[in-house]
Amino acid sequence: MPKVTEVVIELEEVPVVEPEVVSASETAPTSPALAAPTQDDLEEIAFYIDQGMVQDARHRIVALRSRGKAGAALDALEARAAAAASSTPERAPVVETADDSTDRSESVLDDEALESISEALVAEAAAAGQTAAAPASFDEQSVEEVFELFKQHVDREIGSEDHRTHYDLGIAYKEMGLLDDAVGEFQVASRAPDLFRDACTMIALCLREKGEVQEAAGWYRQALDAPGGDDEALRGLRFDLAEVLEQCGDTKAALDLFRSIHRDDPSYREVGRKIAELESRGR
């Protein structure tokens, strides 16, 4: 019988490598934090909503979103604007005519930068067969010159009866800090009965920014004297008028207005604090 040799094979133990677990925070790209809007931006949107100017509020929110602004305060205002829009009738649209001037005026309003305005004017001149030089750079052509050309173009293309477009121009000028030009556009817009209160309010806002509080008070009073308007919008105007009267030094008139607002809505815009401040000054 043949001899059987026992063979023992030793297997080398291979270590098991556990897969490395990478947390989602390590793999996800880091996105830059969005900046919050300024307090002035938020107060302006709140003012528009309080005055029933819902479309203006929503346009302002969209503009801020497009510039990368975000935050809980902006979200809350957006929700307020949406709620107000669902319960507030839209403004009557501007009646379209067969003439294409409305389309041209809308294209004018699309130019947000003065450099773009300059290029648009040159392009229009070329299309009309006029000789036009290439748009000058801002080193060669002042902002004032470009804007003057823009205003001349607006005067040609937009009639004084197109109140809605003049109102929108006023908003655009105000955003650019051109307060005197904004006031002029709002004055034209105020000739339309459906825009009168809003236009007066915007004129008052521009004058407040310029520090002309006496004149601002007069425009707030005109806005309040206009027929119609819901209670919330009128309450906001009374509050703003009271603030302006306080700035004018007419403490008694301001205090009377604040007290009347407090009787209607004690929680409205910290009116209780305003009353306490003014009463403490009179002691």
Nearest-CA neighbor of 186 among 178, 229, 240, 48? Answer: 178
3-state DSSP assignment of residue 35: strand
Return the number of other C-beta atoms located less than 10 Å from residue 141's C-beta: 15
Please report the pLDDT score of residue 282 as a whole number: 74
Please report the pLDDT score of residue 56 as a whole number: 73
What are the residues whose beta carbons fall under 8 Å from the beta carbon of 131, sequence distance 6 or more?
Answer: 125
Please report the pLDDT score of residue 200 as a whole number: 97
What parts of the chain have a pLDDT lower than 70? 1-34, 66, 86-143, 283
Question: How far apart are alpha carbons 112 and 108 in whole angstroms?
Answer: 9
pTM, full prediction: 0.54
pLDDT tens across 166-220, in order?
Answer: 999 999 889 889 999 999 999 999 999 999 999 999 999 999 999 999 999 999 9
DSSP bridge partners of 35: 69
Each domain of the chain, given as residue ranges in start order, spans: 36-82, 151-225, 229-283
Nearest-CA neighbor of 238 among 261, 222, 218, 259? Answer: 261
CATH number of 151-225: 1.25.40.10
Please report the pLDDT score of residue 146 as a whole number: 74
Q: What is the DSSP string of 99-111?
A: STHHHHHHHHHT-
Question: How far apart are alpha carbons 153 and 105 in whole angstroms?
Answer: 10
